[in-house]
Amino acid sequence: MTTQSVETVLMPRLSDSMEEATIVEWLKAPGDRVSRGDDLVEIETDKATMVYEAEVDGVLEEVLVGAGGVAALGAPIARLAVPGTSAAEPDSAAPPRAVLPPTVPRPAVLPPTTPPTAPPPPSAALAAVAKPPTVAVPPAVGDRPHRVSATPAARRAATELGVELDTVPATGPFGRIVRADVTRVGSATKTAPPRRADAQQPARPAEEPIALSPTQKTIARRMSASRTEIPEFTLTAEIDMTSALELRRSLLALRPERPFSVNDLVVKAVAMTLREHPRLNASWGGDHVVRHGRVNIGVAVATDDALLVPTVSDVDTLAVAEIAMHTRAAAERARSRTATLSELAGATFTVTNLGMFGVLNFSAVINPPQVAILAVGTVVRRPMFASDGSVTARDLMQVSLSCDHRAVYGADGARFLDRLRTVLENPLELVVPPAQTDRDGLA
């Protein structure tokens, strides 16, 4: 007689800060045969929605936590029948298969580096005052329309079936569209009669409690802890971006195939400034400060129901166009909830931008254990007095630096902002390394 054993599937660790997670959708039903590497279940963690793959061959015998259910890290969520002993009863003598957490690398702690020598200022041609319309800095949140909340599997099914997600009623946890919703609409579309334009809509309740997703709960917990535990102070500076905008226009005209935004210039300038001011490229360790050897910048991205911060690693070593490419790709994966754990971890400093909404300035909340965050406002053209007393139009941008006073002092923050202003107002340093004059180094 062929025998089988029952293996318990435990809630895996899919995030470094994960304590529990929500089952979004089972991609296999009880009785389905499962092969190693098959998509088994979609799980929403505190940072993203991820597909968990089967680790062994077998048959899905029982689902212990259904769609919408919440399970703690390491808790049983299903049982798989695999070749072994009896399939009717789990082997109580054998412990359940544990899913080990992924290893999260820690940034190396290096001593401060010697500040690079300042490059010559940009040429007069690049610093000439142009008269473009008011420019809004493209923020990390992006200027795309509202994105429908759907799981990655649902989006794949919609593409395969030609179904518009806007037309799919959501039945998944937290109002999210799951794969079953898409397949139901796809099969019904061919036979369903057209909807009457005058059909009455169901009455909406006067008020409705909205459950928080695991991601939203984590954001709420971390931001509350930040405000209550961190002795924070904020410094604000105004930066003349006229030369930076003129340089960007010139480089885009030369190389339109390598586009980049003003925000990419800001991220590059922040990385270079952090190299010279390493006290802000650090984390709070409880009773000590960890100074990081790598400059990994988190760029805040607004999704349909949360705020995620994908990380661009080693930004100080990247060209501006490379920063633009990495940032766009990471932002798209964050919005579609397909970002990996490594893309959402390891940041040593954060930049957040609300310029696209016309916000002049704002104070951002520090993301612990980081010790600082930079908030970027919009660029506005305003009249300014020149050194000779004449009035000229300049493109001005306000930035606000929030710091943890346990690790960063006021003078540290002031010096950081002063150097950041110098770099952005003399932007050739952003695209031409100090010892390089070859045009091939541009962007």
DSSP H helical segments within 285-409, as ranges?
320-335
The catalytic position among 146, 277, 292, 405 is 405
Exposure class string for 344-364: b at 16+ Cβ within 10 A, else e: bbbbbbbbbbbbbeebebbeb
* Alpha carbon distance 334, 188 (integer Å): 31
The Cβ of residue 159 has, within 10 Å, a number of other Cβ atoms equal to 11
**Cα–Cα distance, 142 to 334 (Å, whole number):** 12
What is the C-alpha separation between 92 and 71, in angstroms, rounded?
A: 21
Q: Which two tokens stand for residue 269?
A: 């300038």
Token pair 């010697």 in the structure block, residue: 114
**What is the SS3 assignment for 391?**
strand
In this structure, the strands spanning 349-353 and 311-312 are: unpaired
Task: List the Cα angle 151/350/15 in 5-degree steps.
Answer: 40
273-297 residues labelled b (16+ CB within 10 A) or e (exposed):
bbbbbbbbbbbbeeeebbbbebbbb
Nearest Cα neighbor of 48 from 286, 254, 336, 436 is 336
Number of H helices and E strands in the chain, helices first, is 9, 18
Q: Could you tell me if 175 and 149 are in contact, meaning their C-beta atoms sit under 8 angstroms apart?
A: yes
In whole angstroms, what is the distance from residue 217 CA to residue 360 CA?
29
Residue in the block written with tokens 């039903």: 29
* Residues in CB range of 159: below 8 A, 6 or more apart: none
Which string of DSSP letters, residue by residue, matches 41-76?
A: EEEE-SS-EEEEEPSS-EEEEEESS-TT-EEETT-E
Tell me which H or E stretch contains 377: strand 372-385
Give the CA angle between residues 155, 157, 161 to the nearest 5°. Answer: 120
Catalytic annotation on 405? yes
Q: Are 134 and 144 in contact (CB under 8 A)?
A: no
Bridge partners, residue 397, by sequence: 239, 379
Cite the active site residues: 405
